[in-house]
A = this chain, B = another copy of it.
Amino acid sequence: MSDKPQTRIQAKNRAAILAAGLDAFSKYGFRGTTLDQIAEAAGLSKPNLLYYFPSKDAIYTALLERLLDTWLDPLIAMKADGDPVEEILAYAMRKLEMSRDYPRESRLFANEILQGAPHIAGHLSGDLRALVDEKAVVINGWAAAGKIAPVDPHHLIFSIWSLTQHYADFEVQVNAVLGREDWYDDAGAHLDALLRARLQARVPG
């Protein structure tokens, strides 16, 4: 994927288009987003927008690829040779940070999955599955060594995904129910206690 040299104008406009596209696609999904919408938010005319990206699909695909490129980094960073509980907790906290710092990316991903993952189905059953399986082995090893309580590693990972992404994807609901928007620290503390209790549950016998 060699980055072709870009003029300043290209860099600026492509960035503006991707930013506008992320805003729109993350809210309305691929089909619910229009080129005019993106063009206006990016401050460009529609033909001008299509000068930088050949099609609506190209914008969407570019955003998804950029996302997938970093989406798995927090899980990749969970290392077998660290302290098990702290490694898992640190992973959960990194995911929670991503929900705070990149909520639109999280919602873009959620939208894509809701629609049946038409653009990234292969990625899910390929890269993603392989990575999760690999980390499941690590978690199973920790459990076998008595470092954490026995746990289904796949569902543990699903739990971390759901608990953290919820704060980005359902942000509107969280804000409405809590009546405020400064709940991030509370969420982190709650998540920490929840996972810690499960991982350190005394094994009966």
Residues of A that sit less than 8 Å from B by CB: 26-33, 107, 110-111, 113-117, 121, 124-125, 128-129, 132, 149, 151-152, 154-156, 158-159, 161-163, 165-167, 169-170, 172-174, 176-179, 183, 186-187, 189-191, 193-194, 197-198, 201
Q: Report which residue of A107, A114, A193 has the largest number of chain B beta carbons within 10 angstroms of its beta carbon.
A: A114
CB contacts (< 8 Å) of A117 on chain B: these are 172-173, 176
Assess the B27–A28 pair: CB atoms within 8 A. Answer: no
Assess the A189–B28 pair: CB atoms within 8 A. Answer: no
Q: Is the interface of A mostly helix, strand, loop or mixed?
A: helix
> Which residue of chain B has the shortest Cβ distance to A121 in the bound complex?
B176
CB contacts (< 8 Å) of A177 on chain B: these are 124-125, 128-129, 132, 154, 158
CB contacts (< 8 Å) of A30 on chain B: these are 32
Assess the A110–B114 pair: CB atoms within 8 A. Answer: yes
- Contacts A113-B172, A132-B177 supplied; 11 other A-B pairs, CB < 8 Å: A28-B115, A29-B31, A110-B110, A110-B170, A124-B172, A128-B173, A155-B191, A158-B166, A158-B174, A197-B197, A197-B198
Min Cβ gap A131→B in Å is 9
Given A28-B115, A30-B32, A114-B111, A154-B178 contact (CB < 8 Å): yes
User: Can you give 8 A-B contacts (C-beta < 8 A)?
Assistant: A110-B114, A111-B111, A114-B114, A117-B176, A124-B173, A125-B176, A154-B178, A197-B201
